[in-house]
């Protein structure tokens, strides 16, 4: 099938040309595809894929940053959890009021729910959103049935293993390449690199209908900005220097703990003490003297340490040196100032954490940041956490819609929309003064996918959470 026709207008995804039959709406653009800039290829670069960063290794470096930076890892894990809520569900959209609130009717359809269950769509959508937040884009795969009449399987592809094919003269990316070890620089024709055709971005549903061969296709989801033609950087990457800073502080603290000697007290015992306590000191063998001294030092050490030593008093005698006429204590105990103060580096760590979270549009309260008296002081209140959670739900609307792209392709290809979007007869009431006029009307619902979520509430509502569909 080369051209999709409906109500006098048509579109070919292969040539990206729009058509209009006589009598169809005159505002429809006819005969010209979107204009794309022609890409200039570096001399000698014959690889069919576009490198992702220096040495084609940027996503692996990003993965290490994520795994080694606690606050970044936690925030990137939290964002898709909040966006997906209780998981994706099918609904019929009946109406949208003037405030944008949707009137939804849950769909009880065994074919749809079996598909969502067999393809683990809860984790599918969660992982897709994670890829977009962590790496800037996502890629998934679709598998058709043997007779090509249905899409049977969808799965999220690990974006770290994916590289986009170079743009054709049309400006389209037509293939994605998968490899588990890109840093090894696999050559052309390598058995370790697999190629999958890509459905046209923005017209995937039409493209898959038009294709007459093939069973496996890739779908890419990304938001191109700032002239990035292939791999858009994730939001957190603007705070990469702060990520490095946050990673360095624990390493510095560990090195200090391993290499720095920490001394609490300096104990000095005069030589005269031993002779006065042990009147035959000069007759003792060196071994006996050492044993007596070791026993006394052990006794003092036990006295000064442990929970039982807290707030103990210390008594020590002294004597007058016969030559200098000065008073000399038998045992002198001095408390030493610890130069490695507790909390050193925590202010810098808090600043780094803040910058990373701000780059991700995440309120620190959302991931439990609450350093008393520090950068997050006052962030631990329930109101801050609740409002941060609600704000995050609103901010993640684009990612939620992006994660349903594959399901919207499936619903049309598999005919779910045709079967369920059936016109209904309704009776609409129109208020007029103290009365209302009831008139028959037609309503055609639309099959959509939304995410039920538990939303935190205030205690005066009588419960801690309430259900919402986002």
Q: Render 371-412 in DSSP notation, one character per residue.
A: -TTSTTTT--SHHHHHHHHHHHHHHTHHHHHHHTHHHHHHHH
> Looking at beta carbons, which pairs linking 459-463 to residues 24 or more positions away fall under 8 Å?
none
Residue at 210 is within a domain: no
What mean pLDDT is predicted for residues 325-351?
Answer: 75
Residue at 126 is within a domain: no
- The structure's pTM equals 0.77
Task: Tell me what pLDDT residue 377 has.
Answer: 54
Residue at 272 is within a domain: yes
Tell me the pLDDT band of 66, cut-offs 50, 70 and 90. very high
Task: Tell me what pLDDT residue 340 has.
Answer: 60
240-244, 383-387, 465-469: range with lowest mean pLDDT: 465-469
Nearest alpha carbon to residue 281 among 266, 267, 271, 269: 271
With tokens 């058509």, the residue in question is 19
Residue at 162 is within a domain: no
- The count of domains in the chain is 2
Q: If you compute the radius of gyration of the chain from its CA atoms, what whole number of angstroms results?
A: 35
pLDDT above 70 for 456: no
pLDDT in tens, 190-242: 899 999 999 999 999 999 998 989 999 999 999 988 888 899 999 999 999 99
pLDDT in tens, 81-134: 999 999 999 999 999 988 889 999 999 999 999 999 999 999 999 999 999 999
Task: Tell me what pLDDT residue 130 has.
Answer: 98
Beta strand extents in 336-457 (DSSP E only): 424-432, 435-443, 446-450, 452-456
Task: Tell me what pLDDT residue 262 has.
Answer: 67
Tell me the pLDDT band of 459, cut-offs 50, 70 and 90. low
The residue segments making up the domain with residue 19 are 1-35
- At which of 290, 320, 335 does a domain end? 335
With tokens 């009717």, the residue in question is 105
Residue at 7 is within a domain: yes
pLDDT above 50 for 373: no
Given a contact cutoff of 8 angstroms between Cβ atoms, the answer to whether 180 and 161 are in contact is yes
Q: Which residue has the higher pLDDT, 405 or 457?
A: 405
Given a contact cutoff of 8 angstroms between Cβ atoms, the answer to whether 420 and 448 are in contact is no
- Taking the C-alpha atoms of residue 305 and residue 323, their distance in angstroms, rounded to an integer, is 36
Given a contact cutoff of 8 angstroms between Cβ atoms, the answer to whether 174 and 168 are in contact is yes
The tokens for 251 are 């390493």
DSSP 160: G
Q: Which residue has the higher pLDDT, 375 or 372?
A: 375
Nearest alpha carbon to residue 177 among 151, 143, 213, 141: 141
- At which of 317, 335, 353 does a domain end? 335
pLDDT above 60 for 255: yes
What are the distances in angstroms from CA 81 to CA 36, 59, 77, 118, 426? 36, 22, 7, 20, 38
pLDDT above 50 for 26: no
Residue at 352 is within a domain: no
Task: Tell me what pLDDT residue 21 has.
Answer: 45
What percentage of the chain has pLDDT greater than the value 90?
46
Residue at 11 is within a domain: yes
What are the distances in angstroms from CA 383 to CA 294, 332, 366, 367, 374? 60, 55, 11, 14, 19
Residue at 298 is within a domain: yes
């Amino acid at each position: 099938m080369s051209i999709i026709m409906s109500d006098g207008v048509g579109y070919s995804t292969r040539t990206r040309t729009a058509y209009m039959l006589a009598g169809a709406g005159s505002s429809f653009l006819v005969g010209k595809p979107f204009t794309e800039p022609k890409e200039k290829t570096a001399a000698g670069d014959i690889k069919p894929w576009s490198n992702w960063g220096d040495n084609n290794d940027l996503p692996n470096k990003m993965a290490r940053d994520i795994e080694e930076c606690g606050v970044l890892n936690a925030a990137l894990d939290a964002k898709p959890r909040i966006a997906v809520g209780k998981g994706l569900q099918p609904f019929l959209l009946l109406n949208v009021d003037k405030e944008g609130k949707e009137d939804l009717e849950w769909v009880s359809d065994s074919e749809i729910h079996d598909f969502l269950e067999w393809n683990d769509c809860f984790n599918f959508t969660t992982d897709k959103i994670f890829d977009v937040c962590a790496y800037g884009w996502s890629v998934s795969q679709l598998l058709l049935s043997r007779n090509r009449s249905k899409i049977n399987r969808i799965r999220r592809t690990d974006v770290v293993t994916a590289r986009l094919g170079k743009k054709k003269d049309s400006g389209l990316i037509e293939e994605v390449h998968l490899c588990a070890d890109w840093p090894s620089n696999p050559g052309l024709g390598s058995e370790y690199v697999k190629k999958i055709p890509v459905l046209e971005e923005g017209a995937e549903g039409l493209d898959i209908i038009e294709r007459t061969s093939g069973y496996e296709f890739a779908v890419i989801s990304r938001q191109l900005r700032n002239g990035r033609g292939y791999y858009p950087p994730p939001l957190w990457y603007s705070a990469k220097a702060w990520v490095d800073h946050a990673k360095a502080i624990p390493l510095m603290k560990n090195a200090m703990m391993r290499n720095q000697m920490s001394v609490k007290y300096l104990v000095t015992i005069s030589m005269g003490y031993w002779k006065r306590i042990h009147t035959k000191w000069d007759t003792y063998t060196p071994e006996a003297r050492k044993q007596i001294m070791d026993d006394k030092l052990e006794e003092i050490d036990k006295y000064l340490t442990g929970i039982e030593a807290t707030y103990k008093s210390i008594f020590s005698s002294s004597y007058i040196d016969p030559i200098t006429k000065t008073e000399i204590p038998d045992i002198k105990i001095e408390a030493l100032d610890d130069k490695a103060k507790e909390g050193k580096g925590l202010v810098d760590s808090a600043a780094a954490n803040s910058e990373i979270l701000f780059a991700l549009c995440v309120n620190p309260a959302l991931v439990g940041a609450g350093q008393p008296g520090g950068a997050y002081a006052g962030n631990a209140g329930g109101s801050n956490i609740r409002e941060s959670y609600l704000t995050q739900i609103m901010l993640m609307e684009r990612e939620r819609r992006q994660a349903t792209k594959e399901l919207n392709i499936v619903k049309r290809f598999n005919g779910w929309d045709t079967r369920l979007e059936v016109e209904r007869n309704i009776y609409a009431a129109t208020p007029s003064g103290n009365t209302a006029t009831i008139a028959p009307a037609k309503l055609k619902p639309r099959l959509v996918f939304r995410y039920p979520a538990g939303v935190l509430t205030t205690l005066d509502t009588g419960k801690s959470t309430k259900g919402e569909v986002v």
